Structure 1
Amino acid sequence: METLIPVINKLQEIFNTVGAEVIQLPQIVVVGSQSSGKSSVLESIVGRDFLPRGSGVVTRRPLILQLVHVPTLEERRRAATGESGVQADEWATFLHCKHKTFTDFREIRQEIEIETERTTGTNKGISPEPLYLKIYSPNVLNLTLVDLPGITKVPVGDQPADIEVQVRDMILSYISNPNCLILAVTAANTDMATSEALKLARDVDPDGRRTLAVITKLDLMDAGTDAMDVLMGRVIPVKLGIIGVVNRSQHDINSNKSISESLQDEQGFLQKKYPSLANRNGTRHLAKTLNRLLMHHIRDCLPELKTRVNVLTAQYQSVLQSYGQPIEDKNATLLQIITKFATEYCNTIEGTARNIETSELCGGARMCYIFHETFGRTLESIDPLAGLTMLDILTAIRNATGPRPALFVPEVSFELLVKRQIKRLEEPSLRCVELVHEELQRIIQHCSTYNTQELLRFPKLHEAIVEVVTGVLRRRLPITNEMVHNLVAIELAYINTKHPDFIDTAVVSASVSGSKNESVPDGTRRWKSEKGDELITEDRSKGPSQTSIYSSPSRSHAVNLLDTPMPATRKLSQREQRDCEVIRRLIKSYFLIVRKSIQDSVPKTVMHFLVNYVKDHLQSELVGQLYKPQLLDTLLTESEDMAQQRNEAANMLKALQKASLTISEIRETQLWCHVQWCHLLEAATLSEEEWEIELDFEQPSCLHAPLSHCRTHSEPAHFMK
C-alpha cells in the first residue's frame, strides 16, 4: 500500500503550484535556537551534508524538506522501474526548478544558498517564502520536515532591528497550525528550563499533544554531569517523548567524517553513557519515531482534511460559476446583462429587488421618505408670515391706493403680499426634485454592487450602462424642474379668493373689529393681533399728528417735497391696525391652501416626469444606445483582473479536485491494516535479531510482502545495525 506521508507530500506540491495555503497539511516543524544543532539533526536523518553552514542566522527562509524512500539503483534496475530515469542511488529536486535533478549534494547546498540570497539578499535578513526540496534516497524514511530560522535575540551585522520579532512570528505562523507536529530542539549543554523552543511550543500546544523534544550535543555536557533526568522526562515532561542525539563536531565536519560513521559513534556513546536508554535515543530512533508519529498524525487528520477539501471544492466551483462562462453568443450576453440591470433598477424603486438593503433606506423607500418627511416637514416649517413686517403690509396698502385715501382694504395689496409668500415654496420644491434625482443616481451604484461579478467582468459595459442611465436622468432633471416651477407659477398666476377653504373676508373684518381693547391707567389704548401681539399704542392725550404713518417734519424747518419719507418710530391708528390684521389673516389662510396643494402636487410631478419615465424607458434607452453590432467587441471586453481571478479560481479548483482524487486513493481498509501493521512494528525492539523473534505473526493481507521485504523498505540501510 502507498504510505500516507508521500500522499501529504503530493498534496503539498499540488497546492504549492497554485501558490495558496488553503489547506493546513500535517507536517513536522523543526524549532530551535541558533546553534542548537537543528541542521546537524536534519543531515543525520538524511545521511548527507546538504545544508548551508556558518555563523549567525544560516537558515533564512523556511525549508520544506520532503524525504522519499526509494530502492537502490541496482534494485530499480532489476525491477526495471528506473525511477525518474535517474542513474543514481540518491538525488534531489527543487520545486522552483523541478525539471533539474541534483545528484551532487554540494550542488544542493549551493542552490539553497543562491535561492535564499535571491529572496532575502545578503544582509542576513529572513523571508517567509518557503523553499521546497525533495530528496530521494534508499537511506531515508518517508518524512516531511520544515526547517525554520533559528531563534535569535540580538541582531548582528546589518540584520534588521526587529529580527527577533520576525523570526518569532514566522515560527508561530507554522506551529500554530493544529495539524503540525513540533520538533523542539534544545542543546544538552544549556538549561532546558530556559529553552526557547519548548517555550514557543508550549504557547501554541499547552497540552503537549503535538510536541516532541530533541536533546542535542549529549557528548558536550560538563564532566561529571549527564542528561539522564532530562531524557527520562523528570525535568520537563513532554508527552510525545524526549530523544537525545549526538551531533557531529566541527572537527568531524572539517575532517570529512561521514554521517554513517558518526551514527556508529553515536550508538557507541549511548551504549556506554546511557546503556538503559540507548535503544530509545539516537538519530535512528528519532527518524523512526518521527515517521511513526507523522504517520499516525496524518491518519488522525485525514477525515477532516478530506472534508475540508470537499468544502473548498464546492466553494471554488461556486466562485468560478459566478465569474461566468466563456462568451459564446455576444448578442445574447449583452442583451441579458442589460435586461438584468434594468430589471434590478426598476425593482429597487418598487421595493421588490432580490437584495433588499437592511442598513439604510434605499430606492423607492428613500423617495417616500423624501416626499413625506424631508419635503413635507420643510414646507410645514415655513411660517406663512415670515419676513413680512407690519411696515411691509401697511406700505403695500398705501401703495395700492395711489393718491387717493383708502376707504376699504385694497385687494391688490393682498395679492401682492401673498404672491411674495407663495414664491418661497419654490426653492424647497426644487430641492425635493434634486434629492430624488440623487437617489436615482445612488440606485445605479446599488444595482452595480449586486451585479458585481458581471459588471466587473466587463468594465467598459459597466461604464457605458452608468453613462446611459446618468444621461437619461440628466435629461429629465430640467424637464422636472420646469414643471415644478410651473406649479408655483400656476399658483401665482391666479389668486382664487373663492376657494372653498379660503377664509371669508367679511368674517375676518368682523373678527378684527370685535377684538377687545385694553385700557391702561394712563389713557393709552393697545391693539392686539390674532396671536395677541401688541400692534399699536395710541396715546389719547396727544394730538393726531402722533398717530400718522410717517412722523411729520418739524414746522420750523423747510420741507423738500423730493425727499422720500423715511420710516420712523410710529404709532398706528385703529383703522390702520385693523387693516393690517385683516391682511395678515387672509395671507395666512391662502398660503396654507397653496402649501397644501404644492405639498401634494410636487411628489406627483416628480414621480411622473422623472421616476416613472426612467422606469418605463430605461431598458429601451439601454438597448437603443448599447445594443449595436459595432459596440459588441468593445463592451464585452473582459477586465484583466477578472480574467486573472477566473484563471486562479480554475487552477485552485483543479488542484482541489486533484487533491480530492489523491486522498480518495487511500482506502479505509488499507488505512486500517496499515495502522495495525505500524502498531505491531512499534511494539518491536530496535535490534534486528529481536525483530525476527518479536515479529513472528501473520502480516496483513493488504501488504502482500514478506517481512524481510517490509524491513528493507521501512528500515533504510544506514539505519540498520
Structure 2
Amino acid sequence: MDHPDKFKDYDSQDEGSSFSDSQTHGAFHSHFMESVQPLIELIDSLRMIGIDKDIDLPSIAVVGDQSSGKSSVLEALSGVALPRGSGIVTRCPLELKLRKLKKGPWSGTISYRDHNETFHDPLMVENLVKEAQNKLAGNTVGICDELISLEISSTDVCDLTLIDLPGITRVPVHGQPDDIGNQIKNLILKYTAKSETIILVVVPCNVDIATTEALRMAQDVDPDGYRTLAILTKPDLIDRGAEREVLNIVHGKVIPLSKGYIIVRCRGQSDINNKIPLSKAMEMENNFFRNHRYFSSLLNDGKASTRCLADNLTKELVDHIKKSLPYLTEQIQTKLLSVQRELKNYEQSPPVEEELMGPFLSDVRALRIKHTIYPS
C-alpha cells in the first residue's frame, strides 16, 4: 500500500547542512562519505535480486521533455558521454550507478538481461549503451521497459544512483507507433507514481516552466512537491532581460517545490563539436556562474553548478533511504511471513518416481483449492 505522506517531513533540514560550501572538487566530509556507500549499495543489491518487483525501493527518477538537456546533466554527473541525438535517445530505463573510489583506476560494468560486461575505457560507454538499447528495444525508434544497469566506479564521481527515463514526446516520428507518447508517459509513471521515488525534473531556462510536460507529470503524482527537485538547464540561452524571472523560479516564487531548484550549465552541442572535455566544461560552468551579474548569488547559496547538484542529490537519496528503511523492513517481513505460511502447505517434496508425480500434483492442487476456500 502506498503512503503518499510518509516522506512529508523529508525536506526538513537546516539550510546550513549543504556540503558544497566546505568541499573541494567533489570531496565529501569523511564521516558522511563513509555512511553513504553502504546505504546506496543496500538498495542497489535489493533491486539487483528483484525485490523491486514486489516492493517499491527508494530511487531517483530523471524525467524531462525531449531536448531539455537531460543527457548533458547525466554526462556531467557521471563524467562519461551518453547517447545523444534527435528524437528519443533514451529508449530503455537506464540505471546509472556512480561509485566514488578513494583511489584506483576507472571501471565500468553494464548489465541487462543475461548480459554482464566489465570494461575500463570510459569512451566505450556510449556505444555499449546504444548496443544494449538496440538488443532490448530493437534497431528502430521504439522503447522498452527493461532496465539497463550501468555502474561507473571513479575517483571523480559522487556516490549516487539515478534512473534515466525516456524523454517525453508528443508527436511520433517516422517508424514510431502512433501511441509512442502514451507509452513513454506510462513508463515514466511506472517509476514516478511510487511514493519512494524522488522525481528529478529537468527543465530548460529558456522555456515557460509552467507549460513543460515533465513538471506537469511530476505535479500530477506529487501535487505538493515533496518528492520533486527541479534542474534548470541552458541558462546561457535565455533572452536578455529574463534573468530576474529565472531567479524567481529558482527561489520558488513561480512553482514552489519543497526540494527546490538547482541551475546548471552543461556542455552544449557547440562544446561537444569543439571537443571540450567534461572537466573543462565544469570549470567553464563555475566561471559562468561566478561572473554572472544575476546568477553569481545562486552559486554562493548552493543553488547553482553541477557539483552542487551532485552533492545535494547524494544527500537527498541517503536521507530518503534512511527514512524508507523502517517501512521497507516492514514490507519485507510481511512478504516473508506470507511465503513461510505458504511453505507450510507443502510438507512433502515432489517424488522422484515418474509414476508418483501425477498423484502428488493432484494432492497439491486439492490442498491449494482447500486453502482458497477455507483460508487458515
Instruction: Show the counterpart of 1:288.
Output: 311
Give the whole-Å Cα distance in 1 for the aligned partners of 2:168 and 2:194.
19
CA contact (8 A) 1:6 1:68 kept: no
SS in 2 for 1:133: strand
CA distance in 1, matches of 2:160, 2:367: 53
Deviation string 1:400-456 (CA, Å, 9 cap, x unpaired) is xxxxxxxxxxxxxxxxxxxxxxxxxxxxxxxxxxxxxxxxxxxxx98883389xxxx
1:70 aligned residue: 101
Q: 1:209 to 1:338 in 2, by over 3 A?
A: closer
CA offsets 1:288-333 (integer angstroms, 9 cap, x no match): 11011111111110000011111112222333443554346979x8
Indicate how the Cα distance of structure 1 residues 152 and 323 shifts in structure 2: closer, same or farther if over 3 A, else same.
farther
Following the alignment from structure 1 to structure 2, what is the Cα–Cα distance between the partners of residues 252 and 339? 69
1:244 aligns with 2:275: no
Q: Is the 8 A contact 1:33 1:186 kept in 2?
A: yes
Aligned amino acid, residue 157 of structure 2:
V
SS in 2 for 1:154: coil
Contact 2:40 2:160 in 1 (8 A): yes
The structure richer in strand per residue is 2
Match of 2:321 in 1: 298
Report the Cα offset of residue 123 of structure 1.
2.4
1:275 aligns to 2:300 (yes or no): no
Q: Choose from 34, 48, 57 the match for 1:13.
A: 48
Other-structure match for 1:449: 369
Cα displacement (A) at 1:124: 0.6
Aligned to 1:119: 136
Instruction: Select 1:45's aligned residue among 29, 53, 77.
Output: 77
Which amino acid letter does the alignment assign opposite residue 47 of structure 1?
G
Paired residue type of 2:102: P
Q: Percent identity?
A: 39
- Classify 1:450/1:236 alpha carbon distance in 2 versus 1 (closer, same or farther; 3 Å): same
Check whether the contact 1:26–1:180 (CA below 8 A) recurs between aligned residues.
yes
Alignment check: 8 A CA contact 1:6 1:142 kept: no
CA distance in 2, matches of 1:448, 1:286: 53
Give the SS at the match of 2:53. Answer: coil
Residue number in structure 2 paired with 1:94: 110
Deviates more, 1:169-178 or 1:7-16: 7-16
Amino acid corresponding to residue 48 of structure 1 in structure 2:
V
Residue 207 (structure 2) aligns with:
190
Q: Deviation at 1:37?
A: 0.5
Q: Separation in 1 of the partners of 2:254 and 2:311?
A: 24
- Residues 75-103 of structure 1: per-residue CA shift (max 9 Å, x gap): xxxxxxxxxxxxxx211112236653111
Cα deviations by residue, 1:111-152 (Å, 9 ceiling, x for unpaired): 211111112122211111111111111111111101000000
Report deviation, 1:23: 1.5
Cα distance in 1 for residues equivalent to 2:98 and 2:86: 26
- Which residue in 2 is equivalent to 1:153? 170
Taking the aligned partners of 1:101 and 1:27, their CA distance within structure 2 comes to 24
C-alpha change, 1:157 and 1:337, in structure 2 (3 Å) is closer
**Structure 1 residue 108, shift from structure 2 partner:** 2.0
Equivalence for 1:534: none
**Greater helix percent: which structure?**
1
- The question of 1:163 aligning with 2:184 is answered no
TM superposition shift of 1:72: 1.8
Please give the secondary structure, in 2, of the residue aligned with 1:95: strand
2-side partners of 1:193 and 1:131: how far apart? 32
| SS class of match (2:332) | helix
Larger radius of gyration: 1
How does the TM-score come out when normalised to structure 2? 0.81
8 Å CA contact 1:183–1:211 kept in 2: the answer is: yes
Match of 2:241 in 1: 224
1:155 counterpart SS class: coil
Q: 1:202 aligns with which of 219, 222, 226?
A: 219
Counterparts in 2 of 1:450 and 1:134: CA distance versus 1, 3 Å: same
Give the 5 Å matches for 1:428-577.
449-450=369-370
Structure 1 residue matching 2:98: 3-state secondary structure? strand
Give 1:339 deviation, angstroms: 12
What is the correspondence of 1:27-46 to structure 2 with a 5 Å cutoff?
27-46=59-78
Provide closer, same or farther for how the CA distance between residues 309 and 340 of structure 1 changes in structure 2, counting only shifts above 3 A: closer
Larger relative contact order (C-alpha < 8 A, sep ≥ 6)? 2
Structure 1 residues 41 and 340, CA, compared in 2 at 3 Å: closer, same or farther? closer
Whole-Å Cα distance in 1 between the matches of residues 110 and 344 of structure 2? 35
SS at match of 2:202: strand
Counterpart position of 1:322: 345
Is the CA contact 2:351–2:360 (under 8 Å) kept in the aligned structure 1?
no
Kindly provide the CA deviation profile for residues 584-618 of structure 1, in whole angstroms up to 9, marking residues without a partner as x: xxxxxxxxxxxxxxxxxxxxxxxxxxxxxxxxxxx
Partner letter of residue 92 of structure 1? G
Which residue number in structure 1 is paired with residue 89 of structure 2?
A: 58
Cα distance change on mapping 1:269 and 1:321 into 2, 3 Å: same
Q: Are the counterparts in 2 of residues 119 and 127 from structure 1 also a CA contact under 8 Å? A: yes
- Residue identity opposite 1:314 in structure 2: L
Contact 1:65 1:134 in 2 (8 A): yes
Q: Deviations over 1:463-501 (max 9, x none)?
A: xxxxxxxxxxxxxxxxxxxxxxxxxxxxxxxxxxxxxxx
SS at match of 1:119: helix
Structure 1, unmatched stretches of 5+, are 74-88, 342-444, 453-721
Cα shift at 1:225:
2.4
Give the secondary structure class of the aligned counterpart of 2:342: helix
1:26 aligns with 2:45: no
Unaligned 5+ segments in structure 2 are 1-33
SS of 2:49 mapped into structure 1: helix
Instruction: Find the partner of 2:122 among 93, 99, 105.
Output: 105
Question: Do residues 137 (structure 1) and 159 (structure 2) align?
Answer: no
Partner of 2:282: 263
Q: Is the 8 A contact 2:58 2:320 kept in 1?
A: yes
Partners of 2:224 and 2:257 within 8 A in 1: no
1:630-650 residue CA offsets vs partner (Å, 9 max, x unmatched): xxxxxxxxxxxxxxxxxxxxx
C-alpha contact 1:26 1:301 (8 A) present in aligned 2: yes
Matching residue of 1:378: none
| Structure 2 counterpart of 1:543 | none
RMSD of the alignment, in Å? 2.7
Q: Is the 8 A contact 1:66 1:134 kept in 2?
A: yes
CA deviation digits over 1:369-389, x for unaligned, max 9?
A: xxxxxxxxxxxxxxxxxxxxx
Alpha-carbon separation, structure 1, partners of 2:361 and 2:49: 40
Q: What secondary structure sits across from 2:77 in the alignment? A: helix
Q: Which amino acid aligns with 2:109?
A: T
C-alpha distance in 2 between matches for 1:229 and 1:297 = 27
CA distance in 2, matches of 1:317, 1:94: 35
Counterparts of 1:351-362 in structure 2, within 5 Å, are none
The partner residue of 1:312 within 315, 335, 353 is 335
- Counterpart Cα distance in 2 of 1:139 and 1:101: 19
CA pair 447-111 structure 1, distance change in 2 beyond 3 A: closer
1:449 aligned partner, one-letter code = I
